[in-house]
Amino acid sequence: MSLYGALRSGVSGLFAQSQSMAMISDNIANVNTNGYKVSKARFSSLVTTAASPTLYSSGGVQSSVGREYDVQGLLKSSSISTDIAIDQSGFFTVTDSLTRNTSTGNWDITGDILYTRAGEFRPDKDGNLVNAAGFYLTGWPRNSTNSGYSTTNVQSAFNGINVATSSSNPIPTQNISLDANLMNTAATGDTVDAEIPIIDRQGTQKTLTLTFEKTGANTWDITATLAGGGQFLDPDAGLPAGMGDDANSDGIIDNTELTGAPYTDMALAGASGVAVGQITFNADGTLGAVTGGNGTGSVGVDGNASSGILQLLVDHDGALGTVSDAAAINIDFGTIGGNDGLTQYNGASGVEGYDQDGEQFGSLTGVSINEAGEVTALYSNGVTRKLYQVPVTTFNNPNGLQQKTGNVFIETDASGAAIAHVSGAGGAGSIAPSSIESSTVDLANEFTDMITTQRAYSASTKIITTADEMLDELIRTKR
> Measured between alpha carbons, how far is residue 367 from residues 83, 161, 456 in Å?
11, 11, 52
Contact 94, 114 (CB under 8 A): yes
Phi, psi of 162 (to 5 degrees): -115, 130
pLDDT above 70 (res 251): no
Residue 297's pLDDT band (cuts 50, 70, 90): low
Q: How confident is the model at residue 245 (pLDDT cuts 50, 70, 90)?
A: very low
Give the integer Cα–Cα distance in Å for 360 and 225. 21
Residue 282 and residue 337: Cα distance in Å, rounded?
Answer: 7
Q: Is the pLDDT of residue 242 over 70?
A: no
450 or 325, higher pLDDT: 450
Residue 301 has pLDDT above 80, yes or no: no
pTM of the model: 0.70
Work out the angle between the directed axes of helices 443-476 and 2-29 (0-180°, nearest 10): 160
Task: Please state, in angstroms and rounded to a whole number, the distance separating the CA atoms of residues 251 and 398.
Answer: 59
What average pLDDT is seen over the chain?
87
Domain range annotation of the chain: 2-68+441-476, 78-166+366-437, 175-356
Given this model, what pLDDT does residue 234 score? 78
Instruction: State the Cα–Cα distance between residues 223 and 328, nearest whole angstrom.
Output: 17
> Per residue, what are the HEC states of the chain?
CHHHHHHHHHHHHHHHHHHHHHHHHHHHHCCCCCCCCCEEEEEEEECCCCCCCCCCCCCEEEEEEEECCCCCCCEEECCCCCEEEEECCCEEEEECCEEECCCCCCEEECCCEEEECCCECEECCCCEEECCCCCEEEEEEECCCCCCECCCCCHHHCEECECCCCEECCECCCEEEEEEECCCCCCCCCEEEEEEEEECCCCCEEEEEEEEEEEECCEEEEEEEEECCCEEECCCCCCCCCCCCCCCCCCCCCHHHHHHCCHHHCCECCCCCEEEEEEEECCCCCEEEEEECCCCCCCCEEEEHHHCEEEEEEECCCCCCCHHHEEEEEEECCCCCCCCCEECCCCCCEEEEEEECCECCEEEEEEEECCCCEEEEEECCCCEEEEEECCEEECCCHHHCEEECCCEEECCCCCCCCEEECCCCCCCCEEEECEEECCCCCHHHHHHHHHHHHHHHHHHHHHHHHHHHHHHHHHHCCC
pLDDT at residue 443 is higher than 50: yes
Is the predicted pLDDT of residue 241 greater than 60, yes or no? no
Give yes or no for residue 411 having a pLDDT over 50.
yes
pLDDT band for 237, please (50, 70, 90 cuts): low
Query: Of all residues in the chain, what percent carry a pLDDT higher than 70?
Result: 90
- Mean pLDDT over 147-173 rounds to 88
Phi, psi of 366, rounded to the nearest 5 degrees: 180, 170
Residue 250's pLDDT is 45
Which range among 122-131, 250-259, 294-303 has the greatest average pLDDT? 122-131
C-alpha–C-alpha distance, residues 181 and 443, integer Å:
69
Q: Is the pLDDT of residue 248 over 70?
A: no
Q: pLDDT > 90: what percent of the chain?
A: 56
The span from the CA of 167 to the CA of 387, in Å, is 13
Q: What is the mean pLDDT of residues 216-222?
A: 93
Per-residue pLDDT, 63: 86
Residue 138: its pLDDT value, please? 97
Q: 442 pLDDT band (50/70/90 cuts)?
A: very high
The pLDDT value recorded for residue 246 is 42
* CB atoms inside a 10 Å sphere around CB 79: 6
Number of C-beta neighbours around residue 241 at 10 A: 10
Q: Confidence class of residue 271 from pLDDT cuts 50, 70 and 90?
A: confident
Taking the C-alpha atoms of residue 178 and residue 163, their distance in angstroms, rounded to an integer, is 36
The more confidently predicted of residues 294 and 437 is 437
pLDDT higher than 60, residue 319 = yes
pLDDT at residue 247, as a whole number: 38
Confidence of residue 170 (pLDDT cuts 50, 70, 90): confident
Question: What is the mean predicted confidence (pLDDT) over 427-454?
Answer: 93
384-400 pLDDT, tens digit per residue, is 889 999 999 999 999 99
Q: What angle do CA 129, 131, 137 make, to 5 degrees?
A: 45
> Residue 457: CB partners within 8 Å, gap ≥ 6?
13, 14, 17, 18, 21
Q: What is the pLDDT of residue 405?
A: 93
Pairwise pLDDT comparison (321 vs 331), residue with the higher score: 331
For the ranges 128-132, 156-160, 229-233, which has the lowest average pLDDT?
229-233
At residue 360, the pLDDT reads 85
Rounded CA gap, 93 and 227, in Å? Answer: 52
Closest Cα partner for 179 from 364, 339, 318, 4? 339
Please give the C-alpha separations between residue 415 and each of 115, 343, 390, 412, in angstroms, as whole numbers: 12, 65, 21, 5
Angle at 428 between CA 423 and CA 431, to 5 degrees: 40
* Alpha carbon separation from 220 to 105, 147, 216, 234 (Å, rounded): 52, 40, 7, 21
CATH of domain 175-356: 2.60.98.20
